[in-house]
Amino acid sequence: MQRRTVLICTLLLAVGMNEAAAELRRAVAAGDLIVVNAWMPQPVGGAKAGVIYLGIENKGNEADQLVGADSPGAQQLMLHESKDSGDVMKMLPLNAVEIPGHGKIELRPMGIHLMVTGLKTAPRQSDIFPLILKFSRAGTVAVDVVVQAPNVLKPVQ
């Protein structure tokens, strides 16, 4: 009986992990752009700020720009880039991020990212955080951001 219970729990855990990975790989199209793997580490200790990472691929010939973002779950989202400045990492604001024609960009830890401030609720692991990306050519697109475990540096897939 105990062996059967362990087997059932293992199967349920595997199904749940596969669903989370499938959720993370979900692609959303916006014109010639495809947004993939939108994720954020769960903010720790009741923090009112967080960070979002994702990939953007441009299938078209013309460059586009990510010019901003919004969310009903936060007061403000800002494009930032982390830069190594000797012994200190600096976070610099960006007005836009270019996605070249037939190119890709990745918003990732220690690089370009979306800084989220004024979180209205505390997102928890496995939650979906709503995001609206704003592009100069493709317009706006709604994206579901999968909340990952706190302090992760790459999404669990």
The CATH-assigned architecture of domain 2-148 is Sandwich (2.60)
Question: Letter for the amino acid at 4?
Answer: R
Lowest mean pLDDT among 16-30, 51-65, 134-148: 16-30
When the pLDDT of each residue in the chain is averaged and rounded to a whole number, the result is 87
The domain locations on the chain are 2-148
**What is the tens place of the pLDDT at every residue in 58-113?**
999 999 999 999 999 999 999 999 998 888 889 999 999 999 999 999 999 999 99
CA–CA distances in Å: residue 151 to residues 14, 40, 62: 23, 9, 36
How far apart CA 79 and CA 76 sit, in angstroms, is 10
C-alpha span between 135 and 30 (Å, rounded): 9
Cα–Cα distance measured from residue 32 to residue 74, given in angstroms and rounded to the nearest whole number: 27
Q: So what's the pLDDT on residue 86?
A: 84
Residue 25 pLDDT: 57
pLDDT score of 8 more than 50: no
Q: What is the pTM of this model?
A: 0.82
Give CA–CA dist 106/120, Å, rounded. 26
Counting residues of the chain whose pLDDT is more than 90, the rounded percentage is: 73
